[in-house]
Structure 1
């Protein structure tokens, strides 16, 4: 029986992090589009560096911290509401705010296919990592695996954006995903032990690119 539950948890995690899950993550570049226009991300090597910087020091790290906190707080509606408030407040730009809120709302709506009481505890406009962490915990999906899958999905989204923006090819994208496995595993292990006190970033160029994208002329992405 325990093995059956483990397989069920894995299947749900795979479904939730699948590109086919209807959250609309393909619509966002997280500021990468502006960095490409500015010439800061010119090729596959730069795209790889961009991904690893966000993982270790930027928005993906902060998302992992929020996810871990929400996972541990999945039965506490007040704690989830406070985490959602903090997540929205720390969004570095209007586009980043809309991205995390819209992805979170879409995730909660789609996750309703697997009914669970945790969905009622989540506040409206819950940031994406808060929603993901709480739902995963409710369904008994282990924390480290959830964080790793979430980060892998985030990296995949950025790599896909880079391919569509023409700075890397499909083969380059696969190579970046392969090379990022160790970093994803390391960041996931750190995030499991994290608290909200570990929130913070040192990615000024990425953060300002996300802000400046709001006034970019021709755009493929919503962020």
Structure 2
């Protein structure tokens, strides 16, 4: 006779718990790319503030379309490629390649404020991760980059140094970037929490597609076509009333 029980019935995916290394990787990714991780992401809008002021973004649908373009055809894709390439170079201890990737990534941003945004977050990410999670070899990778290390390169080398696999690191990074864009848009349009989550849900497949494309791309595939977003980033520098630093 079957007996009622409160114990969950295992399915195939439940039969094996995560290894210690997998659990550690997941824990660190959830921490490092959480909105509460203190890299100052809340201070930046990546030009969205000017786009709202100019009337390009007026509601949830317009914000969703804008972010979809930034993700797949703009800085989202480019940053994902830089993260993937930096992670691979760091994993292989290819110091020469890592330096070239870091220099190109730093030169690839379209405006002074975007440079401030990505370099400040990159520096904070490395400093805080290094202080809380000491890791052999990380100092050498950071030194190899020279100068300021932009945010996607920072995430790439820290993840590689800790043995965090590239694919989940890349997906988590893109989720964090999109979430911050939505948070900025929600405060500026403004939008409610439900609309914000609807936008995030609607971009799920686009995040996955961008991650897959970045994993298959080389530095030769870099490029963007989000001219209006780039102009927004440039024009934000002289915007009179501002809540954000970019």
| Deviates further, 111-120 or 17-26 | 111-120
Residue 193 (structure 1) shift = 1.3
Which runs of at least 4 in structure 1 moved beyond 4 Å after TM superposition?
none
Aligned equivalent of 2:240, options 202, 214, 217: 217
1:100 aligns with 2:128: no
Larger radius of gyration: 2
Matched residues in 2 for 1:25 and 1:81: separation? 25
Compute the TM-score of the two structures, normalised by the length of structure 1.
Answer: 0.97
What residue number does 1:109 align with?
A: 127
Residue 2 (structure 1) shift = 7.1
For residues 147-167 of structure 1, the C-alpha deviation after alignment (integer angstroms, 9 at most, x for no partner) is 111001000000000111133
What residue number does 1:21 align with?
A: 37
Matched residues in 2 for 1:173 and 1:65: separation? 26
What residue number does 2:8 align with?
A: none
Aligned equivalent of 1:137, options 149, 155, 160: 160
Compute the TM-score of the two structures, normalised by the length of structure 2.
Answer: 0.88
Query: Mind listing any 5+ residue stretches in structure 1 that lack a counterpart?
Result: none
Contact 2:118/2:150 (8 A) holds in 1: yes
| Deviates further, 61-70 or 110-119 | 110-119
For residues 80-113 of structure 1, the C-alpha deviation after alignment (integer angstroms, 9 at most, x for no partner) is 2211111111110000111111111000001111
1:48 aligns with 2:64: yes
Residue 142 (structure 1) shift = 1.4
Find the residue that maps to 1:73 and give its secondary structure.
helix
For residues 6-62 of structure 1, the C-alpha deviation after alignment (integer angstroms, 9 at most, x for no partner) is 010010011100111110001000000000000000000011011111111000110
Aligned equivalent of 1:118, options 138, 141, 147: 138
Contact 1:119/1:135 (8 A) holds in 2: no
| Deviates further, 191-200 or 152-161 | 191-200
1:189 aligns with 2:189: no
Matched residues in 2 for 1:109 and 1:39: separation? 38
Q: Which runs of structure 2 are paired with 1:28-177 in the superposition (5 Å)?
A: 28-74=44-90, 75-112=93-130, 113-116=132-135, 117-122=137-142, 123=145, 124-177=147-200
Contact 2:52/2:189 (8 A) holds in 1: no
Over the aligned positions, Cα root-mean-square deviation in angstroms equals: 1.3
Query: Mind listing any 5+ residue stretches in structure 2 that lack a counterpart?
Result: 1-16
| Count of residues paired in the alignment | 223
